[in-house]
């Protein structure tokens, strides 16, 4: 008697493999799109929480925090404390222990006279509440953001070279976690955390009536490109330094693939109706996350303006 063979033929196996390959080709991009959508949704939620925190800050102090990187002359101050750093100070405090109502918005934490009567960075003030001079911690406001989810990092932990910017100041980072950073504690202990790209913050000059493409000086326009130029010039978080990939949001005449800052923040509806280059949010502020690619000025940026 002939024994009947069982199993698959080569043609059948190749057919199954082909079907599986086709399914994988369809499913993998779809899964990637779902993951990216989830990341974008999480980032939009962070932007929304920052907006609520800024509203609370405004209710307490009558205005949004400043974002100037350089005070207009005379005299011009060194560009070592940009808008992104001031955002972190306003919502968390210069040292993450709460905002001081008398802040001079200085990168070193001192008051406007160079003394320790705001944040006391040298910890030289008295801790005895019976004395007339109290430790600054007793003078702080509550945090406007929850510290555990604020994604606050020191610039020096993010970039090997922070240029003019003070490396020991904090910024709020987005949720895309572009880089793993090692943080060293006061006793030499280390912890590794995933950090995103710093979120840019610009406060509007509400008294300005100039168009963005006017010949007015930058600090006279509704938004000043200089507010975060020192941070943008540090390059990509994952490729920082002299030979790192530059951001696409530039402050001069753009090259192919780049966009000028003032073009980037122009409201197209206002441009169409007035034929003037006017910005989004002229009465408040703008926030910019670099998005999944970690580069400012590209299509995947997530902001509090536009679509």
Determine, yes or no, domain membership for 283.
yes
Q: Provide the percentage of residues in the chain whose pLDDT is more than 90.
A: 50
> What are 210-244's pLDDT values in tens digits?
999 999 999 999 999 999 999 998 888 876 554 45
Higher pLDDT, 260 or 72: 260
Cα within 13 Å of Cα(123), Cβ side: 2
pTM beyond 0.95: the answer is no
Which of 140, 166, 194 represents a domain boundary (last residue)? Answer: 140
Q: What is the pLDDT of residue 247?
A: 83
Domain that holds residue 158: 40-99+147-303
Do 122 and 268 belong to one domain?
no
- Confidence class for position 7, pLDDT limits 50, 70, 90: low
Do 129 and 178 belong to one domain?
no
Determine, yes or no, domain membership for 127.
yes
pLDDT higher than 60, residue 171 = yes
The mean-pLDDT minimum among 76-80, 100-104, 296-300 falls in 76-80
Do 209 and 68 belong to one domain?
yes
Do 114 and 239 belong to one domain?
no
């Amino acid at each position: 008697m002939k024994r009947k063979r069982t199993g698959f033929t080569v043609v059948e196996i190749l057919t199954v493999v082909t079907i599986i390959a086709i399914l994988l080709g369809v499913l993998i991009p779809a899964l990637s799109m779902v993951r990216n959508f989830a990341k974008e949704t999480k980032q939009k939620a962070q932007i929304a929480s920052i907006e609520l925190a800024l509203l609370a800050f405004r209710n307490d102090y009558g205005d949004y925090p400043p974002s100037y990187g350089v005070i207009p002359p005379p005299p011009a101050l060194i560009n070592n404390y940009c808008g992104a750093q001031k955002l972190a100070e306003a919502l968390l405090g210069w040292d993450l222990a709460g905002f001081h109502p008398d802040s001079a918005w200085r990168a070193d934490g001192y008051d406007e006279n160079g003394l320790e009567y705001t944040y006391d960075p040298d910890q030289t003030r008295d801790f005895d509440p019976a004395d007339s001079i109290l430790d600054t911690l007793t003078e702080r406001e509550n945090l406007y953001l929850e510290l555990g989810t604020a994604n606050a990092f020191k610039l020096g932990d993010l970039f090997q070279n922070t240029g003019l910017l003070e490396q020991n100041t904090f910024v709020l980072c987005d949720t895309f976690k572009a880089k793993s950073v090692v943080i060293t504690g006061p006793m030499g202990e280390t912890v590794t955390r995933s950090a995103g790209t710093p979120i840019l913050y610009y406060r509007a000059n509400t008294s300005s009536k100039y168009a963005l493409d006017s010949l007015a000086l930058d600090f006279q326009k509704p938004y000043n490109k200089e507010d975060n130029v020192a941070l943008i010039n540090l390059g990509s978080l994952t490729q920082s330094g002299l030979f790192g990939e530059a951001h696409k949001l530039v402050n001069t005449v753009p090259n192919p693939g780049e966009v000028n800052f003032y073009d980037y923040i122009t409201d197209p509806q206002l441009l169409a109706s007035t034929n003037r280059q006017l910005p989004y949010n002229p009465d408040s502020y703008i926030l910019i996350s670099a998005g999944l690619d970690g580069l400012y000025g590209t299509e995947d940026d997530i902001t509090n303006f536009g679509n």
